Amino acid sequence: MDREPVFDELWQAQVLAMADAMVAAGTFSAGAWSEALGSALKAAEAAGAEDTSQTYYEAALEALEGLLQGSGDVPAQMLEERREAWRDAYLATPHGEPVELP
């Protein structure tokens, strides 16, 4: 049995945990998640992305964000604001320290 980590960093796996929690909560169905993730992975492949854990993470994040926007529960503006807040926090955090939003 292969015991290699699927992702390079543990935080990358959080997107899958969030998607699983949202399926369990009924935010979207497992089928919708599977279709969105499959579409994002196919788009990455078509764009020439290499088959890496980073590509998978980015596709999973894209799929999750797309489903949230499509549900109407999370407006696109809110996602963009959160993305900017994380980017700013990341850039302001010293190397090796945890990134935290204010």
Is 99 domain-assigned?
no
Whether 78 is covered by a domain: the verdict is yes
101 domain-assigned: no
Low-confidence ranges of the chain (pLDDT < 50): none
User: In this structure, is residue 1 part of a structural domain?
Assistant: no
What distance in Å separates the CA atoms of residue 25 and residue 80, rounded to the nearest whole number? 23
Give the domain range for residue 56. 10-92
In a domain, 5, yes or no: no
In a domain, 27, yes or no: yes
The 10s digit of each residue's pLDDT in 77-97 is 888 898 899 899 989 999 988
Spatial contact of 65 and 78, defined as CB atoms under 8 Å apart: no
**Could you give the number of structural domains in the chain?**
1
* pTM exceeds 0.85, yes or no: no
With respect to residue 3, please indicate whether it lies within any of the assigned structural domains. no
DSSP secondary structure letters along 56-92: HHHHHHHHHHHHHHHHTSS-HHHHHHHHHHHHHHHHH
Q: Give the integer Cα–Cα distance in Å for 78 and 2.
A: 39
What integer pLDDT is reported at residue 2 of this predicted model? 66
